[in-house]
Amino acid sequence: MEVASVLIIANTAKEPASTIAAEIASRLNDRGIATRQFLYRGQAIDLPDDETFDLAITLGGDGTVLFASRVLAERNVPILPVNLGDFGFISEVGRNEWAESFDQYLAGTIETGDRLVLEVCVRRGETQIQHSRGLNDAVISAAGISKIVRLRVFLGDQPLGSYRADGIIVSTPTGSTAYSAAAGGPLLHPEMGAMILNPICPHTLSHRPIVVPPDELVRIEVEPDQRTAVVLTVDGQSELELLSGDCISVRAADRPARIVRSDRRTFYEVLRSKLNWTGGPND
């Protein structure tokens, strides 16, 4: 694998991020690889679009990967996620493992895995008012606490029904371990091609999570006469207040996020560790 330029994205809210970013840049520069550092703290802004890169290295946690993937998936830039805290569901490479993982990627002994990315569009009347992407999920919910919203859901042109619930989550397989799991949704392998439609605390037992194919179009309409403000949140990092009649369409984006796999720990090992699964009383 040929890599001539690397974008280093570091969340400086993680204390060692700046230092490690500088170390990575120095070591790659010594090998003749051009680098650019993008440092941010808290809410990230858009990445620079005036350069192309062969690889991105993220320093932080899963949130840093979510931010990077929303931008870099469309540019077809693979991401090597380095975790600076506890191992995340996405970022499985430790801070002291990045160099070895980078060399393995160059040698072709580890590869990238494709992760489905959501493309989310909001129309208000005849006007599209927002277009965004998400690696984890799109959530339509009440702005307040414990408030019910009324949403009408369609799969393609087929009406699925009207939901009275705390909200609805449309999740990717990557996001199946996040909010969707907390709302009782199924856990999917992150490289599967599927989406999860998951109501949050629905006010009828007949409404259950549904797994749909990746070529499905999910449409959600905000019904009139809401008792509370309704918001759309994508990946927990961007928010838009919705009005009655707004239509939200969610589908799989044309290009997936390309995440460099780890050969040290599998998704199932991380799942077992994070969720404290055991095989018996002595484990």
Q: Which residues lie across from 11 on neighbouring strands?
A: 40
Contact between 173 and 190 under an 8 Å Cβ cutoff? The reply is yes
CA distances to 16, 40, 129 from 10, in Å: 9, 6, 30
Contact between 255 and 116 under an 8 Å Cβ cutoff? The reply is no
Strands, E assignment, 74-177 = 79-83, 93-94, 112-115, 118-124, 127-134, 137-142, 149-155, 158-165, 167-171
Q: Is 54 a catalytic residue?
A: no
What number of H helices and E strands is found in the chain?
5, 19
* Cα–Cα nearest to 139, from 218, 33, 211: 218
Per the residue annotation, which of 49, 62, 263, 283 is the catalytic one?
62
**Residues designated as active site:** 62
